[in-house]
């Protein structure tokens, strides 16, 4: 285990599977005590693979410390005491907050029911909003803190007109992209307001597809269009351990950030380098600066 997060307490939402689980494992491998939050406590609780029990077991097997919290982040009642529960479990305040849980629907706007839009807002905006508000007083008192909101490339406006379903154009993304765009802007405002207190607030999105359980249930992306989950976890770790005076208020993309920082990419247990995905090896074709500039 490393020690980049030694002595710190982290909370990661949506940590039963996918990117949230990967980030929780990577933080734990660097010494963080991690509260993991999701709706699925046991494997049988969801049709997709992954559960809080499995995430906690993986962290503990690696020598780390973890605590599961079952919560439905679309429900304000579940969000109300979430931070207090995590802090009580570890007897310490939250130093690192990762808002990863998300809801998404891709439905044409004309038929997009407002009730679904409200659900997206509750999970993608209201939940991170309330959790950030809950951790900030303690972070200010301690004079340190790291907030990371997981975003998406879907927020980037489509090129055009004329419009087509190629490049960065995604049909039916008004609700998901719209709420994540708001989250990005909220993140930047929070960064501005807490900068003087030694607290970093950033947003991070995958730059290529990530073959998580949820993503693969919807679309089967070819390997050449994907990045490994380790690159997202490593980029997240970088933003959760950065110098808040130098790296805050960013809406970052995983691969570009790793190249910018020349950050080695490790396995989720922090023990080995991920072959083919070190900064000098990351394909330029995956970078947004190249992909959508015509380069």
The residues annotated with a catalytic role in the active site are 176
Could you give phi then psi for residue 43, rounded to 5 degrees? -55, -35
- 1 vs 266: CA distance, rounded Å: 12
Q: Cβ(36)–Cβ(68) under 8 Å?
A: yes
Q: How far is CA 190 from the centre of its chain?
A: 17
Q: Which residues pair with 65 in a beta bridge?
A: 33
Q: Which two tokens stand for residue 7?
A: 């002595």
Q: Which two tokens stand for residue 180?
A: 């994540």
> Residue 127: exposed, middle, or buried by beta-carbon count in 10 A (0-12, 13-18, 19+)?
buried
3-state SS assignment for residue 8: coil
Q: Which residues pair with 149 in a beta bridge?
A: 99, 203
């Amino acid at each position: 285990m490393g020690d980049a997060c030694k002595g710190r307490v982290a909370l990661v939402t949506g940590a039963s599977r996918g990117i949230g689980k990967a980030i929780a494992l990577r933080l734990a491998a660097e010494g963080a005590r991690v509260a993991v939050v999701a709706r699925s406590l046991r494997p049988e609780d969801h049709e997709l693979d992954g559960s809080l029990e499995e995430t906690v077991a993986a962290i503990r097997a690696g020598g780390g410390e973890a605590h599961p919290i079952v919560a439905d982040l679309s429900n304000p009642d579940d969000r109300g005491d979430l931070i207090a529960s995590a802090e009580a479990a570890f007897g310490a305040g939250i130093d690192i907050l990762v808002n990863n849980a998300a809801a998404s629907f891709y439905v044409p706007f004309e038929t997009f029911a407002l009730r679904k839009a409200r659900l997206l807002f509750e999970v993608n905006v209201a939940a991170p909003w309330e959790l950030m508000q809950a951790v900030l007083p303690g972070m200010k008192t301690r004079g340190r803190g790291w907030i990371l909101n997981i975003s998406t490339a879907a927020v980037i406006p489509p090129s055009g007109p004329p419009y087509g379903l190629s490049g960065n154009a995604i049909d039916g993304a008004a609700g998901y992209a719209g709420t994540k765009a708001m989250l990005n802007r909220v993140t930047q405002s929070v960064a501005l307001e807490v900068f003087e207190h030694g607290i970093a607030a950033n947003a991070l999105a995958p730059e290529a597809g990530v073959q998580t359980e949820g993503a693969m249930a919807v679309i089967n992306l070819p390997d050449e269009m994907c990045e490994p989950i380790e690159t997202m976890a490593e980029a997240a770790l970088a933003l959760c351990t950065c110098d808040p005076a130098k790296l805050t208020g960013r809406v970052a993309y995983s691969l570009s950030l790793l190249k910018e920082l020349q950050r080695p990419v490790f396995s989720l247990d922090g023990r080995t380098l991920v072959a083919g995905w070190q900064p000098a090896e990351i394909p330029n074709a995956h970078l947004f600066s190249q992909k959508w500039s015509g380069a």
